[in-house]
Amino acid sequence: MRWGWLALVVGLALTACAKPPVAAKPPLYTTNTAASPEQITFLLPGALTTTRIFGPANGWDSPRHRVVEYRLPGMRGEPLNPPLDLDRSARWIADYANRYPDARINLLGYSTGAAIAIEATGRIDRAERVQVIAISSPTPFPGAALAFVRGGLGVAGSALATGSFSAKTVWDEYFITLYLGSGWRVSPEKRAMADRLREAFKDQINTPGEGRGRSQSASLLLWSLSPEAQASKARITFFHGENDPIFPLPGVRRLGERLNAPVCVLPQDGHMPLLSRADLMDRVERILQGTNTTPCG
């Protein structure tokens, strides 16, 4: 309970510090101008990421299949203000989907994007045509607020491990924890893997500086599952790392039970299975196209 109140105070403080809202336009982008797509896939990334994290899904576009990119504040030229508002983003997705009442709708969400996808289901007409893949999903309050506390402790641990107060150095080290999960330093095998990861992702990691962290995350901290989302008939599948250090697996299992959705556990993975698990997007595609032989693709 003590941690819950601490997280609540932090969440309220961050929300209060946000800049005054300005007029916003939906940050939804596509190059597909087909008049009547049979299928629309929305790619909804998480904080500090872009749709590049979905890899091959960016190439699913065709005359019959439209891929729509969602951009978070501060990413790929989007302004930091207004900051992310989960409800508003969910409405943007739903309004777009509702313009195509005969199309199948796929919502592919990673981390924060998974929360947007879940909330959008409660606003899309005929939600039985909607499929959601929620990867490394947040959990409703106090889940995301507690995740903020865990993240702060993880960053502090990275600072101690590196002996540095350089934001880039510390965040590069914390990326390893996100990738491999908590406790990786006690495993010689994972320490060796960490060295390879540092080299592979050198100069590629986005940091929460310049206001990006606050702008992209403040709304999530107080997220509560809406009645509309809970009552939605959309089909939802969760993929979650067994060792996710931000949103522990037990909380996601409880969310899956509330939404009557299977939780597909990824053994040994952390918060970034889209990077760490080469077969994940193949499994996701099988679920979305209905060719899966198991609930988890």
| Angle between helix 2-17 and helix 143-162 axes, rounded to 10 deg | 90
Average pLDDT over residues 129-141: 97
- What are the CA-CA distances from residue 48 to residues 52, 127, 248 (Å)? 11, 29, 20
Q: Is 38 exposed, middle or buried (0-12, 13-18, 19+ CB in 10 A)?
A: middle
Average pLDDT over residues 198-223: 86
Q: Report whether pLDDT(16) > 70.
A: no
Outline where DSSP puts E strands in 136-262.
235-241
> Could you give all domains of the chain from N- to C-terminal order, each with its CATH number?
25-297 (3.40.50.1820)
Nearest CA-CA partner of 75 in 246, 217, 206: 206
- Give 102's contacts (C-beta < 8 A, 6+ positions apart): 36, 38
Average pLDDT, the chain: 89
Segment 98-119, tens digit of pLDDT: 999 999 999 999 999 999 999 9
For the ranges 2-11, 135-144, 171-180, 258-267, the lowest mean pLDDT is seen at 2-11
pLDDT bin (cut points 50, 70, 90) of residue 80 is very high
The structure's pTM equals 0.89
pLDDT bin (cut points 50, 70, 90) of residue 5 is very low
Q: How many CB atoms lie under 10 A from the CB of residue 252?
A: 25
Average pLDDT over residues 162-176: 86
